[in-house]
């Protein structure tokens, strides 16, 4: 939310072209989208954008004086980071209004290869203080930072008062005590990182075992909770969100 604005900019996620259009038609100032690959932390089947749909979405937004950001918010894995650098190149080619990055190596690449491309610091970077944000601005020219949801309003205010970088905050979403997007507990339990697989503890790893005197909830074989015969059983997640398993919906508790 730039200091020159009298009201916050509303930025909405869009997992498809119809969702992008709906967000813009209902008042979003900007939307953020992802590509159909693992450079996007919400890389789910049936969602996200290829080149054609991304261009169509950007055109739709531009005709209505709205903006489109591209999230490249996973961390480059292993020795071959070409998928991530190609995604940055694609963002520049598409002409998005900004690219949302988590990996500082990609920030360096984007700043050097595409100096005109506006850089936003993803919530996945877990920048919880103004020093981290100001360093990203100094090194890579970052123009906006998305703050993790663990910060209080007073902490958010303190960040804003000590940086010239635009600050974006979540209007909704569950709190998490782990480093945003890089929870080692979920990675240990399931082998799938929340950053690269988009969820904290996927439903496919959930199992309930009925015993004589208790119902055991396991996550990939690890006992997470145990319920008495008459006690309501919750979803055995290590973190957050709502899940549907075998036509039953379970709500995670922090």
Q: What is the pLDDT of residue 222?
A: 87
229 lies in the same domain as 191? yes
Q: What percent of the chain has pLDDT over 90?
A: 57
In tens, the pLDDT along 160-171 reads 999 999 999 988
Distance between alpha carbon 220 and the CA centroid of its chain, in Å? 24
Do 159 and 197 sit in the same domain of this protein? no
For residues 181 and 139, what is the distance between their CA atoms, to the nearest angstrom? 23
Position 35 pLDDT exceeds 80: yes
CATH (domain of 101): 3.20.20.70
Same domain, residue pair 214 and 159? no
The answer on 91 and 156 residing in a single domain is yes
pLDDT in tens, 117-139: 999 999 999 899 999 999 999 99
Report if pTM > 0.85.
no
Range of the domain at 94: 11-168
Identify the domain boundary among 102, 136, 168: 168
Summarize the confidence of residues 6-24 as an average pLDDT. Answer: 93
Query: Would you state the pLDDT for residue 246?
Result: 65
CA 186/CA 111 separation, integer angstroms: 32
Residue 52 clears pLDDT 50, i.e. is over it: yes
Q: How far is CA 243 from CA 152, 194, 227, in A?
A: 27, 15, 19
Is 96 in the same domain as 212? no
- In sequence order, the 6+-apart residues with CB closer than 8 A to the CB of 208 are 215, 216, 217, 218, 233
Q: Residues 129-154: what's their mean pLDDT?
A: 95
- Domain-embedded: residue 89: yes
Return the pLDDT at 147. Answer: 93
Of 108, 136, 168, the domain-final residue: 168
185 Cα distance to chain centroid: 18
Query: Nearest Cα to 143, choosing from 6, 48, 7, 9?
Result: 9
Contacts 24+ apart (CB under 8 A), 229-235: 233/208, 235/206
Q: How confident is the model at residue 229 (pLDDT cuts 50, 70, 90)?
A: confident
Residue with tokens 């996945």: 124
- Residues 67-114 pLDDT 10s: 999 999 999 988 889 999 999 999 999 999 999 999 999 999 999 999
d(CA 240, CA 223): 17
Average pLDDT, the chain: 87
Give percent above pLDDT 70 in the chain: 87
> Does residue 128 sit in the same domain as residue 193?
no
| pLDDT grade for 178, boundaries at 50, 70 and 90 | low
Please give the Cα distance from 226 to 244 (Å, whole number).
20
Burial of 36 (0-12, 13-18, 19+ CB in 10 A): middle
Report whether pLDDT(233) > 80: no
Which residue among 114, 143, 168 closes a domain? Answer: 168
One domain for residues 109 and 135: yes
The predicted pLDDT at position 193 comes to: 82
Residue 233 is given by DSSP the state P
Q: Is the pLDDT of residue 183 over 70?
A: yes
Is the distance from CB of 84 to CB of 106 less than 8 angstroms? yes
């Amino acid at each position: 939310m730039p200091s020159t604005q009298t009201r916050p900019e509303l930025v909405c996620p869009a997992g498809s072209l119809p969702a992008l259009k709906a967000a813009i038609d209902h008042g979003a100032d900007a939307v953020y989208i992802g590509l159909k690959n693992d450079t996007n932390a919400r890389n789910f089947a049936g969602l996200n954008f290829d080149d054609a749909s991304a261009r169509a979405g950007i055109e739709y937004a531009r005709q209505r004086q709205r903006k489109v950001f591209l999230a490249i918010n996973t961390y480059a894995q292993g020795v071959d980071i070409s998928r991530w650098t190609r995604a940055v190149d694609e963002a520049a080619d598409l002409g998005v209004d900004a690219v949302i990055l988590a990996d500082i190596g990609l920030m360096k690449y984007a700043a050097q290869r595409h100096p005109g491309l506006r850089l936003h610091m993803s919530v996945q970077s877990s920048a919880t203080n103004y020093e981290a944000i100001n360093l990203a601005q100094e090194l890579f020219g970052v123009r906006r930072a998305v703050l993790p949801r663990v910060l209080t309003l007073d902490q958010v205010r303190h960040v804003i008062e000590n940086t010239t970088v635009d600050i974006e905050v979540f209007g909704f979403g569950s709190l998490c005590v782990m480093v945003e997007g890089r929870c080692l507990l979920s990675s240990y339990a399931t082998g799938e990182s929340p950053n690269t697989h988009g969820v904290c503890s996927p439903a496919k790893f959930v199992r309930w075992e009925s015993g004589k005197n208790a119902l055991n909830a396991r996550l990939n074989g690890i006992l997470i909770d145990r319920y008495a015969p008459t006690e309501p059983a919750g979803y055995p997640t290590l973190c957050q969100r709502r899940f549907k398993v075998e036509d039953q919906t379970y709500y995670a508790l922090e």
